[in-house]
């Protein structure tokens, strides 16, 4: 998603949710100070020969059930907490898009096994960035949702799931199979407001529709059986 498309949406999101743009920028600068500028090389390497189809998994409660009926041997992309469910379901994870909100130890483990990680900085995850950003051994690309410092990237996207779709589109995929996405029934997490999560999922659905309008085919993973 190009900056001239994303940034007006970012303005609306910040206004709706009361996010601090300054806090986003501070988090982005923190991430840069820790991981440096190696992300560009990792990104270019990923773009070379990136597949036209990927399986993108979100963190809905029905992900494990969906995976039990999927036979897929291509590139698997995990949106944050979906990493753990994929591991438990016997899937190899190739790419992780995370703001460090899931079981980070599983993401670090997959990174050590070669998974590429797109690590996202936003206003309220600075403590997690300080704690974990140095622990990823595999390819690492830093992202943010504000105007990016030179060493970071902003491909658009708000939640881990739709941001992962934006990442895949940037890498060159033209078809995204979705598993574990439920835009009507947000997963409950301790300390999280379900209604706010519902509003975030509405934005996620809207942003995926925008990618569709830009020519990316985004369909349920059940399409594999048709």
- For residue 203, give the H/E element and its range: helix 194-213
> For residue 26, how many other CB atoms are within 10 A of its CB?
15
CA torsion angle for 162, 164, 169, 170 (degrees, to 10)? Answer: 120
Could you read off the pLDDT of 78-119 as tens digits, one per residue?
Answer: 999 999 999 999 999 999 999 999 999 999 999 999 999 999
Whether residue 167 contacts residue 97, with contact meaning beta carbons closer than 8 Å, is answered with yes
| Helix %, strand %, coil % of the chain (to 5) | 45, 15, 35
> For residue 149, how many other CB atoms are within 10 A of its CB?
18
> To the nearest whole percent, how much of the chain has pLDDT over 70?
96
Whether residue 46 contacts residue 162, with contact meaning beta carbons closer than 8 Å, is answered with no
Task: Report the alpha-carbon distance of residue 78 to residue 68 in Å, rounded.
Answer: 16
The whole-number average pLDDT for the span 201-223 is 95
| Bridge partner list, 118 | 97, 141
Whether residue 132 contacts residue 66, with contact meaning beta carbons closer than 8 Å, is answered with no
pLDDT of 207: 97
What is the domain class of 3-225 according to CATH? alpha beta
> What ranges do the domains of the chain cover?
3-225
Alpha helices in 79-138 (DSSP H): 82-88, 104-112, 126-132
pLDDT band at 160 (very low <50, low <70, confident <90, very high): very high
Nearest to 179 by CA among 26, 30, 5, 55: 55
Given the structure tokens 């597949």, which residue do they identify? Answer: 51
Could you read off the pLDDT of 19-64 as tens digits, one per residue?
Answer: 999 999 999 999 999 999 889 999 999 999 899 999 999 999 999 9
pTM, two decimal places: 0.95
Whether residue 139 contacts residue 131, with contact meaning beta carbons closer than 8 Å, is answered with no
Distances in Å between the alpha carbon of 203 and those of 46, 111, 144, 225?
27, 29, 17, 28
pLDDT of 191: 58
């Amino acid at each position: 998603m190009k900056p001239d498309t994303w940034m007006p949406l970012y303005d609306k999101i910040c206004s709706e949710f009361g996010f601090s743009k300054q806090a986003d920028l501070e988090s982005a600068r923190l991430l840069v100070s820790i991981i440096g500028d190696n992300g560009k090389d990792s990104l270019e390497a990923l773009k070379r020969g990136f597949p036209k189809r990927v399986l993108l998994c979100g963190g809905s409660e029905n992900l494990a059930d969906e995976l039990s009926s999927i036979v897929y041997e291509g590139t698997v992309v995990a949106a944050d907490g979906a990493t753990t469910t994929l591991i438990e379901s016997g899937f190899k994870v190739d790419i992780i898009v995370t703001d460090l909100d899931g079981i980070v130890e599983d993401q670090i483990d997959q990174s050590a096994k070669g998974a590429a990680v797109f690590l996202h900085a936003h206003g309220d995850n600075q403590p997690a960035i300080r704690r974990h950003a140095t622990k990823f051994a595999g390819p690492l690309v830093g992202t943010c949702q504000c105007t990016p410092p030179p060493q970071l990237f902003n491909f658009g996207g708000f939640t881990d799931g739709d941001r992962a779709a934006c990442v895949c589109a940037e890498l060159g995929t033209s078809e995204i199979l979705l598993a574990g996405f439920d835009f009507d029934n947000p997963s409950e997490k301790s300390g999280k407001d379900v209604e706010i999560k519902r509003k975030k999922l509405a934005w996620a659905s809207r942003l995926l529709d925008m990618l569709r309008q830009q020519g990316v085919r985004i369909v349920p993973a059940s399409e594999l059986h048709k």
